[in-house]
A and B are shown apart, each in its own frame.
Chain A
Amino acid sequence: EAAVTQSPRNKVAVTGGKVTLSCNQTNNHNNMYWYRQDTGHGLRLIHYSYGAGSTEKGDIPDGYKASRPSQENFSLILELATPSQTSVYFCASGASGTGGPEVFFGKGTRLTVV
């Protein structure tokens, strides 16, 4: 089964601080994604990537940066964390092709900004 690992699983950050969420996948998938999950909003796409060195803005990119240094790794960076960024963040990977962009999720990171 597809393996996506996120770290840390829980994080408490201070307002104005820098936060980096990391994601590693061992599936050799081209595509990787960062979503945040909030009650009433479902899963919202922050950034995604279709290969090493690429990053694309999703639907809610403001306040976030992303980095894809390799096929396996995709990071989400909050340069100046704010309380409104308190949420659960999911990383996912997926392969393009005839089977459709099915995604496989990591277990999530719970971020609290105080």
Chain B
Amino acid sequence: GDSVTQTEGLVTLTKGLPVMLNCTYQTTYSPFLFWYVQHLNEAPKLLLKSSTDNKRTEHQGFYATLHKSSSSFHLQKSSVQLSDSALYFCASGTGGYKVVFGSGTRLLVSP
């Protein structure tokens, strides 16, 4: 079945440093890929999404590029802020109904 893999459970960084959160996927059909962010005690919210191969997608300083050749959709930011501390989920959907999430990566940013 479809699956999404996030290899890092926890990433800790100092404010101002760059970050990359890894996401790889396995799907039968050409997928949509998403990044969701969940702040403490809140619901997950969409951060960005893409279905276009090799095109960079950006939102709120975060960016990601879907690479179908390597089945990857890594999330990056050039300079993290304290407010970026949250749980980040990568997700995959195939245009139909089923949306599958990865296990999540917790990002902790320190002063």
Bound CA–CA A102/B34 (angstroms): 8
User: How far apart are B36's CB and chain A's nearest CB, in angstroms?
Assistant: 8
Contacting residues of chain B (50-67) with chain A, CB-CB under 8 angstroms = 51
Interface stretch, picked from B12-20, B40-48, B68-76, B78-86, is: B40-48
Once A43-B89, A48-B97, A100-B32 are accepted as A-B contacts, the answer to whether A105 and B43 lie under 8 Å apart by CB is: yes
Whether the pair A102, B44 counts as a contact (CB closer than 8 A) is no
- Which listed residue, B42, B94, B96, B101, touches A42 by the CB 8 Å rule? B101
Q: Interface size of B by Cβ–Cβ distance < 8 Å?
A: 26
Contacting residues of chain A (53-94) with chain B, CB-CB under 8 angstroms = 56, 58-59, 90, 92, 94
Nearest to B105 among chain A residues (CB) is A42
Whether the pair B99, A33 counts as a contact (CB closer than 8 A) is yes
Q: Does B1 interact with chain A (Cβ within 8 Å)?
A: yes
Task: List residues of chain B with CB within 8 A of the CB of A92.
Answer: 99
Bound CA–CA A45/B93 (angstroms): 12
Task: List residues of chain A with CB within 8 A of the CB of B6.
Answer: 42
Name A residues whose Cβ lies closer than 8 Å to a Cβ of B: 31, 33, 35, 40-45, 48, 50, 56, 58-59, 90, 92, 94, 96-97, 100-108
